[in-house]
């Protein structure tokens, strides 16, 4: 096998799974005004940045799911003969499961109802807890050395900048010796770092391996240490 072919194979096996870990999911149910589920509705999710379109049909329970969706702004449209078309503009964040439930009203397909999505106070799709640092704060906030890990201090229940671990930690050298982050009151050594969805944790000190990254990212996500994922950020795409 030639070196070029081998490189392609390595990229397929190593690069794709890492990128997949930064993707999100859009899911929901289609119902009528009485609360009954509606099967057979055509659900379309269009990425407003790339115009990429994916289409699903609601199942017998009225449910639909779009897995492995790149973060971004989407227009979710639901259509079914005998009902008004519903359009909903939503924003999908890093590794988020976004629930978009739709209620169809009697009417014609030419009639369109625009819906504004409200923020979900309690996520029922999974037990994950996390904080998204949006693009505006990433770009505009002053960061010493453009270290994106400093943004984690903006999340609730996070302590940063406390005293270091002493001589053992100083052996790491550079900025890693001064990176003190505690999430949900746990030890700094309990953090698990990923970069673009790929493992970025030094198993010797349980700190990050590399902090090199473009600050043009769309957003970044911080999760409590108990989930074993303290930081994850997608590449700009």
Q: Where are the domains of the chain?
A: 24-116, 131-227
pLDDT at site 125: 64
Residue in the structure block whose two tokens are 């359009």: 87
Scored b (16 or more CB within 10 A) or e, 70-96 reads bbbebebbbbbeebbbbbbebbbbbbb
Whether CATH 3.40.50.300 fits 24-116: no
Residue 59: per-residue pLDDT: 97
Q: Which residues are bridge partners to 222 per DSSP?
A: 131
Q: Closest by alpha carbon to 152, among 198, 191, 203?
A: 191
Q: What is the pLDDT of residue 22?
A: 80
Give the model confidence (pLDDT) of 144-176 as tens digits. 767 777 888 888 888 887 766 665 555 566 667
Q: Burial level of 44, CB count in 10 A (0-12/13-18/19+)?
A: middle
Which residue ranges in the chain fall short of pLDDT 70? 1-21, 109, 112-128, 145, 163-175, 177, 212-237
């Amino acid at each position: 096998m030639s070196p070029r072919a081998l490189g392609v194979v390595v990229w397929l096996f190593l690069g794709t799974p890492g990128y997949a870990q930064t993707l999100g999911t859009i899911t929901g149910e289609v119902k009528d005004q009485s609360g009954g589920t509606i099967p057979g509705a055509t659900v379309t999710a269009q990425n407003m940045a790339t115009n990429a379109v994916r289409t699903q049909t609601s199942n017998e329970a009225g449910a639909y799911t779009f897995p492995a969706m790149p973060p971004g702004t989407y227009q979710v449209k639901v259509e079914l003969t005998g009902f008004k078309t519903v359009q909903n503009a939503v924003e999908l964040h890093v590794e988020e499961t976004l629930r978009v439930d739709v209620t169809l009203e009697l009417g014609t397909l030419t009639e369109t109802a625009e819906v504004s999505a409200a923020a979900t106070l309690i996520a029922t799709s999974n037990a994950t807890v996390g904080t998204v640092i949006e693009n505006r704060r990433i770009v505009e906030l002053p960061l010493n050395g453009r270290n994106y890990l400093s943004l984690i201090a903006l999340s609730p229940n996070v302590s940063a900048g406390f005293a270091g671990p002493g001589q053992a930690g100083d052996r790491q050298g550079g900025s890693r010796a001064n990176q003190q982050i505690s999430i949900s009151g746990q030890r700094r050594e309990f953090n698990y770092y990923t970069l673009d969805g790929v493992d970025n944790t030094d198993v010797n000190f349980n700190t990050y391996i590399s902090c090199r990254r473009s600050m043009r990212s769309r957003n970044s996500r911080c999760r409590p240490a108990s989930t074993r994922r303290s930081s994850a950020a997608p590449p700009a795409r």
